[in-house]
Amino acid sequence: QVQLVESGGGLVQPGGSLRLSCVVSGSDFKFYTMGWHRQAAGKQRELVADILSGGTTVTAASVKGRFTISRDNAKNTIYLQMNSLRPEDTAVYYCGVDVVGSGYFWGQGTVVTVSS
């Protein structure tokens, strides 16, 4: 069974930076994509950034140029580097992986609050 554990969330001032981490564990698996979504209060969950199995990345327009997704295969870890944070970035951030033959798996989320 695939398990994902996020960390790195917290309170940060506008303009600040934060790096989220997601450790993926379980049996060996193949994946279509790994990525990050977020859900703000009263809003639907939305894609933040995705990385495909071949390494290609997709980033939402709202965070392009500020957020960068990456992965470390040796550590089975996905990262989201967030720079120039804005109050509208406040949300619960979820790590997810689309596993071939099994479906999509989510972490429990980590809260990011951007406020003075």
pLDDT in tens, 81-101: 999 999 999 999 999 999 988
* pLDDT, position 35: 96
Question: Which pair of structure tokens corresponds to residue 21?
Answer: 């981490």
pLDDT band at 27 (very low <50, low <70, confident <90, very high): low
Q: How far apart are CA 99 and CA 109, in angstroms?
A: 18
Which amino acid, one-letter code, is at 32? Y
Give the helix ranges, DSSP H, for the chain: none
Q: How far apart are CA 104 and CA 43, in angstroms?
A: 21
* pLDDT, position 49: 98
Question: Which pair of structure tokens corresponds to residue 34?
Answer: 């790994």
* pLDDT, position 53: 86
